[in-house]
Amino acid sequence: MRRRLSVAAALAGSLLLAACGLPQAVGPTAGDVASTQVDGVWRTDGYGWVIQVAGGHAKTYDITSLSCIPNGDLTRIDGSPGGAAQFGKRDTAEETLRRNPDGRTAELRLLGTAADIDLVPLPALPELCTRPTPSDPLTTFDVFWATFAENYNSTVRKHIDWNAVRNTYRPMVNASTSPDQLYQILVNMIRPLGDNHAQIDGPNDQEFTGQRPGTRDDDQVDDTDVTKPIDQHLRQNLGVRDIQKWADDDIAYADLPGNRGYLRITAFQDWGTKPDQYVARQALLDKVLDEVFTDQHVRSWRSLIVDLSYNEGGDDQLGLSLAGRLTDRPYLAYTKFVRNNPTDPTKYGRARPVMVVPTADRPHYTGPLRLLTSDLTVSAGETFTEAVMARTPPATRVGTTTQGVFADDMERQLPNGWSFTVGNEDYIAPDGRNYEGPGIPPTTEVPSLTPQQLAADQDPALDLPSDTR
């Protein structure tokens, strides 16, 4: 069900902010204000961020009911296009802010994500943000617990009593708790969530990432564990002579027998671009897709296989760019909702429809499409899966069920310097379902990337006879 924030829930959220010492939104600004004039203090609707824009900088703070911790300082970039103010590092944009026509509210876009974030103005930086947050073990525990309590998207869905979790683990923490002990306590709190977007980086390079029970992740299966056997299968069993690769080998293309195309993407991130930021990745992807989706290919393909059976996720917008080469008409990819009430985990903000838009002035492939997925298809790999569900014709999904995490990773800082992530959004697929948690099932189930298959250089999902136009 699509959920919206009710007036009563908005009031409850405002009361919590007031109780926490956070200023309320101020009234409308008189007169028309240019969209690039974004100086001031802004609070996000959901996400738990306050952004202070002043002196050519945008400083972000992570806020909870008991803390405010600095988390990022970006510099304004000149020549912002389209009436938005850009902020980033080393002259490369990472986010944009745009004041709305009402002259009061604004919108934030983290580049690479699929939808904007609503901003409301505050009269001043919250008092909590004017003093350091203590970094002792108890405060660190409380901030970690509060961040999930106020933002996490799945406590109700997964029948988790987060108050009971606090009652169980907080008595284990005191001023003498060692970093290793505290880290293990925090891991034990989130492990039962079975959530690949519940991650924590702790002391001595310790890391924990959750996963849906019975599934694998990239700590257990490396990308080369998958790509090398598949490449061997392509060459030895399918007679492929040339496999083109880009983006540190995360993107590969090959012509298959029978006028079929094979496109594999193992991540929508970490492509070795300089700088390693979304803008550079988008430029690289555009170049690659121009080389793959040529007039000759589009005319000759009887079918196309897109292999995301191993995909570590990354930028949703890159997946939408790929989907834009696979259609000649716009259509709904999915709809995003953000949890925006810190006291009620069932309350969400307004719908943010996300569209697949055909790439302008480029060839489009509109024929039969097969998408390969598995439990190693994660996050942006899953949002791309949703983005081709309503395609005409829809993609045939072959393999096994995806991991089941869709929300943008909301990266947060703890008072002691550790970082962690939490998912706070729901993605509604074109079929009206929310696959957060269980993942997206295939339309044709075939065992995918099993140890036995990889050891024997086999890929049954790739070998199934293709539908052709």
Quick: pLDDT tens for 12-21: 333 333 334 4
Q: Rounded to 5 degrees, what are φ and ψ at 154?
A: -135, 15
Predicted pLDDT at 218: 85
- Which segments of the chain belong to CATH 3.30.750? 137-209
Q: Please, how many CA atoms are within 13 Å of residue 317, restricted to the half-sphere of its CB?
A: 16
Model pLDDT for residues 185-223, shown as the tens digit of each residue = 999 999 999 999 999 999 999 999 999 999 998 889 999
Q: Give the Cβ contact number of residue 159 at 10 Å.
A: 7
Q: Are 293 and 329 in contact (CB under 8 A)?
A: no
Predicted pLDDT at 307: 98
- In the block, residue with structure tokens 């745009």: 98
Distance CA 101, CA 245 (A): 45
- 137-209 belongs to which CATH class? alpha beta
145-148 contacts at long range (C-beta below 8 A, 24 or more positions apart): 145/170, 145/189, 146/64, 146/65, 146/66, 146/67, 147/48, 147/62, 147/64, 147/412, 147/420, 147/422, 148/190, 148/422
Predicted pLDDT at 14: 36
Question: Mean pLDDT by 10-residue block, N- to C-terminus, for the chain (469 residues)?
Answer: 28 36 41 69 98 97 97 87 86 94 94 97 96 97 98 96 98 98 98 97 96 92 95 96 97 96 98 95 98 98 98 98 98 98 97 98 98 98 98 97 96 97 97 98 96 94 75
For domain 223-328+364-404+439-463, the CATH architecture is Alpha-Beta Complex (3.90)
- The pair of structure tokens assigned to 267 is 């991540």
- Which segments of the chain belong to CATH 3.90.226.10? 223-328+364-404+439-463
Predicted pLDDT at 34: 62
Q: Cα 206–49–379 angle (5° rounding)?
A: 55
